[in-house]
Amino acid sequence: MNKTVQKATLTLALAAFSATLAFGLPPLGSKAQSSARMSAPSAGGPVRPSSDHQIKSLKKQLTEQQSEINELLEKVQRLEQQVGTGQRARVAPPLPSHMSGGARVASLTPVLPSKKALDTRPVGLPADAPLAAATSARGQSESEGATSDSPLQFKIGSAYVTPVGFMDFTSVWRNHDVGSGIGTNFAGIPYGNVFQTNLSEFRMSMQNSRVGFRIDALTHGAHVIGYMEADFLGLSPGNAAVSSNSNSLRSRLYWVDVRKGDWEVLGGQTWSLIAPGRDGISPLPGDIFFTQNMDTNYQAGLVWGRIPELRFVYHPSKKAAFAVALDSPEQYVGGSAGGPLITFPAALASTYASELNTGGNAFGVPNVAPDVIAKLALDPSSKFHFEVGGVERNFKVWNPATSTTYTTTGGGGFANLNFQLFKGMRILTNNFVSDGGGRYIFGQAPDLIVKANGSPSLIHADSTVTGLEYTHGNSLLWGYYGGLYVGRNTAMDANGKLIGYGYSGSPASQNRAVQEATFGLNQTLWKDPEWGAVNFIGQYSYVTRNPWSVAVGSPANASLNMVYFDIRYTLPGSAPTLGK
C-alpha cells in the first residue's frame, strides 16, 4: 500500500478503538461483538439503563460510529484498487528506450548526453553530474516502474502530467551597446564611431525563465508525448523597462509525438530536425545541442530553428535512426536578429520587399513549398554520436514589370559529431554548408539576392560550432568557437550600380564573417530530487564581425566583449516510467 492507504487504515483502526472505549465494545470484527451489543454480564447481574432516553442515545451514537467505519472501509478498498491499477499500468508492454519516459526526461536547459536511466533526475536538469538529482526521493525501485516521488507530477486518467520550468535571474554586461536585451544580435554588433560603440550596457532580466508541461501516456500500444514550453522574451512595448517590466509570454515549443514500435511521428512547433542533436533523433530539449550558453541567442554559427514541423522517424535499432521532416518555409533576404539586408534593384525594391522576408514581414511572404530535411543519426555507444543530413529549399518570386515568375532551388548539408574523449570530457563539432541556407544560421545570412531582371540568385553560407564540455562533480565547464561565413554575390542594376551582397561600397552591415569565442561555468549550489536545484551560471564571450566593404580609414571589423551571470532555480519532477 502507499502512504494514503496506510493512513486510511490507521484511521480505521483508531475509529474502531474509539468505539470500544465509548461503548464497551470489543474491537470491530471480534466474535464477542454481537453478544456484547445484547448484554454485558457482571457480578451484579445484567446492566439495565436508567431510562429509555439513555438507551436511544447510545443506539444513535453506535449507529453513527458504525456508519463512519463503513465509509472508511470503502475508502480503503477504493485506494487499494487504484494502487493495483497504477501498478498494472506501470508494467505495460515494454517501449523502446528511445521514447520511454525513463530514458528521456523532458529538459529545459542544455544537457550532456547520457545512456543512463534518467527517470530519477528532475525535469529540466542535465543528465550528468552538475545538475542531476542524486536518486529518487523515496528510494523507489526502477524495476518496479516507479515514478520519481516528486511533488510536481500528477496523473489524469491514464496520462501523467509533469510541470516543467525554471526561474532565471540573468544579468549581462557588454562593453558596447547592442540594444537587444539579453539575447545578442551577433551580425549587428555596432560598427564605426557611433554612440553604441562608445557606451557600455548593463541589464538584468527574468525573461529567460520558462514555464511548460509534458504529458506521457500509453494508448493502443503507442507512447504519446505532448510537450509545451514558453518563456517571457515576446514582444514588449517601448516603455517596458521603465516601471512594470511587463514581459510578454512567448511560445517556444508545442508538439505531440507518437511512437509505436520502430516508427515515430511528430507534429507541431519543435526544434527543427536541422538543429544538431546530442543523442539519437529526439524532439526533447535535453537531446538537442544548443550549447550551454546563457545568451538566449546561443552561439554565433549555430544552426537551429524552433518552427512548425511534421516529422517521420524510423528506428531500425537502438543505435540508428533516420528521419524526414517538412518544415515551415520562409524565403529570407536578411534583417532578422541583426542580420544584414541585401541591396535590391531600384525598380523592384518595394515589390520584392513584400515577396521576400526582410525581417519584419511576419507571415506575409508567399512561400512556395515546405523545406524538406533529412537526417541519419548513429549512436554505437554512449560515448559517440554522429549525424549527417541535408535540407532542400524552394524559392519563387514574381516580377510585376514583366509579369515573369522565377523559381530556384537551394539547400545545404550538415555533419555533426560529439564523443567522449575521457570521463567527463566531450568534444563536439557541428558543421553546415549551404547555398540558400542562411535562414537556418539564426538568420545571420540572407538566402539570396535579386538581379536586375527580378530573378533570384542564391548566397553561399557556411557555419560551425566546435568546442568541449567537461563535467566534474557539481561543476560543468565549457568552451566553444562559433563562426559563420557569408559569400559575396553581386549583380549590376539597370542604372549601372552594383547591387546584391558584398559588392565594393556595400553597407558595413553586409558581413563576410562573424566569429565568437565563449567559455563558461555552471555550478550546482544545491539540489534535491523533491525540491529542485539552484545553480550559478557564468559566461564570457568575445565576438567579432568583418564587413565585406569598409570605407577608407574605417576599422576592419567590429568587436564585442560580454559577461553573463545567472542564478537559476529549476523545478523538480521526472517523466514517468511507462514500460520496462
Short-list 543, 439, 524, CA closest to 128: 524
Cα-flanking dihedrals φ and ψ of residue 143, to 5°? -65, -20
pLDDT for the residue numbered 153? 83
pLDDT for the residue numbered 53? 66
pLDDT for the residue numbered 213? 95
Lowest mean pLDDT among 153-162, 226-235, 254-263, 568-577: 568-577
Residue 557 has pLDDT above 70, yes or no: yes
pLDDT above 90 coverage of the chain, percent: 67
Q: How confident is the model at residue 89 (pLDDT cuts 50, 70, 90)?
A: very low
Residue 134 has pLDDT above 80, yes or no: no
pLDDT for the residue numbered 94? 36
Give 435 or 236, the one with higher predicted confidence.
Answer: 435
pLDDT for the residue numbered 578? 76
Average of pLDDT values for 287-304?
A: 97
Angstrom distance (rounded) from CA 445 to CA 340:
7
pLDDT digits (tens, 9 = 90+) for 214-269: 999 999 999 999 999 999 999 888 888 898 888 999 999 999 999 999 999 999 99
Angstrom distance (rounded) from CA 575 to CA 106:
7
pLDDT for the residue numbered 67? 76
pLDDT digits (tens, 9 = 90+) for 300-343: 999 999 999 999 999 999 999 999 999 999 999 999 999 999 99
Angstrom distance (rounded) from CA 158 to CA 223:
12
Q: How far apart are the first and last CA of the chain?
A: 21
Give 12 or 142, the one with higher predicted confidence.
Answer: 12
pLDDT for the residue numbered 575? 80
pLDDT for the residue numbered 68? 73
Q: How confident is the model at residue 440 (pLDDT cuts 50, 70, 90)?
A: very high
Angstrom distance (rounded) from CA 326 to CA 393:
10
Lowest mean pLDDT among 104-113, 148-157, 244-253, 433-442: 104-113
Average of pLDDT values for 517-531?
A: 94
Angstrom distance (rounded) from CA 449 to CA 454:
9
Residue pair 502/536 in contact (Cβ under 8 Å)? The answer is no
Give the residues across from 432 on adjacent strands: 414, 463
Average of pLDDT values for 452-479?
A: 97
Most confident of 32-36, 69-73, 370-374: 370-374
- 304 secondary structure, DSSP code: B
How far is C-alpha 356 from the geometric centre of its chain's CA atoms?
A: 30
Residue 565 has pLDDT above 50, yes or no: yes
Residue 488 has pLDDT above 50, yes or no: yes
Residue 172 has pLDDT above 60, yes or no: yes
- 70 secondary structure, DSSP code: H
In three-state form (DSSP H/G/I as H, E/B as E, the rest C), the secondary structure along 506-552 is CCCCCEEEEEEEEEEEEEEEEEECCCEEEEEEEEEEEEEEEECCCCC
Average of pLDDT values for 470-495?
A: 97
pLDDT for the residue numbered 234? 92
Q: Kindly tell me the burial class for residue 410, based on how many C-beta atoms sit within 10 Å of its own C-beta (0-12, 13-18, 19 or more).
A: buried
Angstrom distance (rounded) from CA 290 to CA 217:
28
Going by their DSSP bridges, the two strands 201-205 and 222-231 should be labelled as unpaired
Residue 577 has pLDDT above 70, yes or no: yes
Short-list 333, 553, 327, 577, CA closest to 458: 333
Q: What does the DSSP assignment read for 310-347?
A: EEEEEEEETTEEEEEEEE----B-S-STTPPPPBPPGG
| Run of H or E residues at 3 | helix 3-23
| Run of H or E residues at 5 | helix 3-23
pLDDT for the residue numbered 120? 32
Residue pair 407/382 in contact (Cβ under 8 Å)? The answer is no
The residue assigned the cell 535571474 is 169
Lowest mean pLDDT among 60-64, 301-305, 541-545: 60-64
Angstrom distance (rounded) from CA 289 to CA 304:
9
Angstrom distance (rounded) from CA 246 to CA 237:
9
In three-state form (DSSP H/G/I as H, E/B as E, the rest C), the secondary structure along 216-256 is EEEECCEEEEEEEEEECCCCCCCCCCCCCCCCCCEEEEEEE
Q: How confident is the model at residue 523 (pLDDT cuts 50, 70, 90)?
A: very high
Angstrom distance (rounded) from CA 332 to CA 361:
10
Average of pLDDT values for 111-136?
A: 35
Which distant-in-sequence residues (6+ apart) come within 8 Å of 337 by Cβ? 180, 183, 185, 186, 187, 188, 297, 359, 442, 443, 444
Q: How confident is the model at residue 114 (pLDDT cuts 50, 70, 90)?
A: very low
Residue pair 488/446 in contact (Cβ under 8 Å)? The answer is no
Domains defined along the chain, listed by start: 3-90 (no CATH), 129-237+245-357+366-570 (2.40.160.10)
| Run of H or E residues at 353 | helix 349-355
Cα-flanking dihedrals φ and ψ of residue 504, to 5°? -65, 125
Average of pLDDT values for 549-567?
A: 94
Sign of CA dihedral 141, 143, 146, 147: positive
Cα-flanking dihedrals φ and ψ of residue 58, to 5°? -65, -40
Residues in the chain: 580
Radius of gyration of the chain (CA): 32
pLDDT for the residue numbered 351? 95
Angle between helix 52-90 and 3-23 (nearest 10): 170
CA 123 → CA 116, 212, 325, distances in Å?
Answer: 15, 11, 27
Give 76 or 290, the one with higher predicted confidence.
Answer: 290
Q: How confident is the model at residue 71 (pLDDT cuts 50, 70, 90)?
A: confident
Q: How confident is the model at residue 126 (pLDDT cuts 50, 70, 90)?
A: very low
pLDDT for the residue numbered 79? 62
CB atoms within 10 A of CB 98: 21
pLDDT digits (tens, 9 = 90+) for 525-538: 999 888 899 999 99
Residue 386 has pLDDT above 70, yes or no: yes
Average pLDDT, the chain: 82
- 189 secondary structure, DSSP code: -
Helix (H, G, I), strand (E, B) or coil at 477: strand
Angstrom distance (rounded) from CA 270 to CA 305:
8
CA 327 → CA 8, 250, 265, 374, distances in Å?
Answer: 53, 20, 14, 11
Helix (H, G, I), strand (E, B) or coil at 72: helix
Q: What is the residue type of 449?
A: I
Residue 379 has pLDDT above 60, yes or no: yes
